[in-house]
Structure 1
Amino acid sequence: MKAQWIVMAALAGHTMLAQAETVGSVDTAFKLIGPDHKVVVEAYDDPKVNGVTCYVSRAKTGGISGGLGFAEDKAEASIACRQVGPISFPGPLKQQEEVFNQSLSILFKKLRIVRMVDQKRNALVYLTYSDKLIDGSPKNSVTAVPVERSITIPLK
């Protein structure tokens, strides 16, 4: 019974992460067999901040291995988060929290987006980077969304 609660809690925590929505893509290299190499642009709505969407561009490996899901995508991504509606907070935020992660390979490589609260400047800072079980990448990208001074960012 205790094991079931642990699994349910893990799944509940995982479902709070944002879900990707593909905005578009461009081909970067032709592959005779399988899909072409691409740069994809995906949108992620912050699940705990209404009115903020992050746009991430990243490389997606094509070819036979990419088409079958066995290729390892490059650890390079760019992020731009924007206010797309009135900003509101359904609840308090952690000072720093992962809001999204996506597998980039079958070998435990992940693209991650972390939200940080810059209380002094009343801004939300978003960082994207990739990591791997053994050796992550220092390549990263950062963006910030200012919040109106009349709105206090609630912290836990």
Structure 2
Amino acid sequence: MKHWLCAVTLAVLPLLAQAEKVGDVSTAFKLIGSNHKIVVEVFDDPLVAGVSCYLSRAKTGGVSGALGLAEDKAEASVACRQVGTVAFKGPLPQEDEVFTERASILFKHVRVVRMVDARRNTLVYLVYSDRLIDGSPKNSVTAVPVPAAMKIPLK
């Protein structure tokens, strides 16, 4: 059982994007620990070359934030853009999680899901926050149109 779980985990990890920090701004001064911030990160879609997504979200500072014990707010925004030639690394599922990051020590994550609008030949990206018991309805959506001559390959 352990070997199967490890194999599944290793197979899924490369399919989720890793974000790199672009910058941040302080929103509230904290005497001890880092300030509360809005952080801007960027990640590339793992299955669509030429598409990058910029994610902004709140990061809690202070001692609890520095120790990783704080719960970040559920507010986030995403803006995905074509930054190069679009190329698909294979057929895409209709809906697929492309990014996830922990927003608290337990049970809360920020997630970005890619959806395919085949009729309009467009990739739609949704960011939201979930929690084991009670997620947040706060969300943000962005869309990247794919050139008409290139149809999105679906699974």
Q: Deviations over 1:48-77 (max 9, x none)?
A: 000000001000000000011100000000
For 2:40, the equivalent position in structure 1 comes to: 41
For 1:70, the equivalent position in structure 2 comes to: 69
Q: Distance in 2 between matches of 1:11 and 1:31?
A: 39
The Cα shift of 1:14 comes to 2.4
For 1:152, the equivalent position in structure 2 comes to: 151
Q: Distance in 2 between matches of 1:66 and 1:93?
A: 36
Which residue identity is paired with 2:35?
D
Look up the SS of the partner of 1:93 in the other structure.
coil
For 1:114, the equivalent position in structure 2 comes to: 113
Q: Distance in 2 between matches of 1:10 and 1:66?
A: 27
The Cα shift of 1:90 comes to 1.3
TM-score, L = length of structure 2: 0.97
The Cα shift of 1:9 comes to 1.7
For 2:91, the equivalent position in structure 1 comes to: 92
Q: Distance in 1 between matches of 2:69 and 2:2?
A: 31
Q: Does 1:20 align with 2:25?
A: no
Q: Distance in 2 between matches of 1:111 and 1:12?
A: 21
- Consecutive unaligned residues of structure 1, counting only runs of 5 or more, are none
TM-score, L = length of structure 1: 0.97
Which residue identity is paired with 1:16?
L
Look up the SS of the partner of 1:149 in the other structure.
coil
For 1:60, the equivalent position in structure 2 comes to: 59
Identity of aligned residues (%): 66
Q: Distance in 2 between matches of 1:36 and 1:134?
A: 28
Q: Distance in 2 between matches of 1:29 and 1:130?
A: 22
Q: CA RMSD in A?
A: 0.9
Q: Deviations over 1:75-95 (max 9, x none)?
A: 000110000000010100000
Look up the SS of the partner of 1:57 in the other structure.
strand
Q: Distance in 2 between matches of 1:109 and 1:13?
A: 19
The Cα shift of 1:7 comes to 1.6
Q: Distance in 2 between matches of 1:16 and 1:97?
A: 10
Which residue identity is paired with 1:33?
I
- Consecutive unaligned residues of structure 2, counting only runs of 5 or more, are none
The Cα shift of 1:12 comes to 1.6
